[in-house]
């Protein structure tokens, strides 16, 4: 049985303008991963999220669940896809975290690097491009990717 990823990039534009504690500093849907055609290469999913990690990566963001302050749109899509009953491995990662990653770190065998399986030259490049652009507008800590698996 295959594993597929669903997810959405979110941003919080009001936080940079009014501050994180302002009532208008909420998270908004930016773009669905489906539109960016990330695919489901298991080595990348293992590297990024610990899913199907027979590759021996130290995952960047494993099983964090949905953020408490997730946007209404993301929560609705998650629930529409079966919520916690049909989805698993739910997690998120911010652009601020992604910019601090050692992309040359390898899996346990030393045969695959993060850069090789999920870096700029892979099918994840469009995701990183969108997140980078949004971070330039709203701040790295106000951009995140929320994902779940089915």
pTM attached to this predicted model: 0.94
pLDDT at residue number 104 = 98
pLDDT at residue number 136 = 97
- Asked if pLDDT for residue 130 goes beyond 90, the answer is yes
pLDDT tens digits along 87-124: 999 999 999 999 999 999 999 999 999 999 999 999 99
Q: How far is CA 22 from the centre of its chain?
A: 25
pLDDT at residue number 78 = 95
Instruction: Tell me the range of 12-21, 74-83, 96-105 where mean pLDDT is highest.
Output: 96-105
């Amino acid at each position: 049985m295959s594993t597929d990823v669903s997810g959405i990039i979110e941003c919080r534009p009001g936080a940079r303008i009014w501050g994180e504690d302002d009532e208008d500093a909420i998270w908004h849907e930016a773009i669905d991963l489906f539109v960016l055609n990330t695919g489901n290469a298991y080595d990348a999913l293992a590297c990024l999220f610990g899913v199907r990690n027979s590759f021996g990566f130290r995952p960047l963001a494993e099983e964090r669940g949905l953020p408490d302050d997730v946007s209404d749109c993301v929560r609705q899509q998650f629930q529409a896809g079966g919520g916690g009953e049909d989805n698993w491995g739910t997690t998120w990662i911010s652009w601020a975290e992604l910019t601090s990653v050692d992309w040359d770190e390898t899996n346990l065998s030393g045969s695959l690097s993060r850069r090789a399986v999920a870096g700029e030259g892979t099918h994840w490049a469009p995701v990183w491009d969108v997140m980078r652009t949004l971070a330039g507008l709203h701040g790295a800590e106000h951009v995140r990717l929320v994902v779940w698996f089915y």
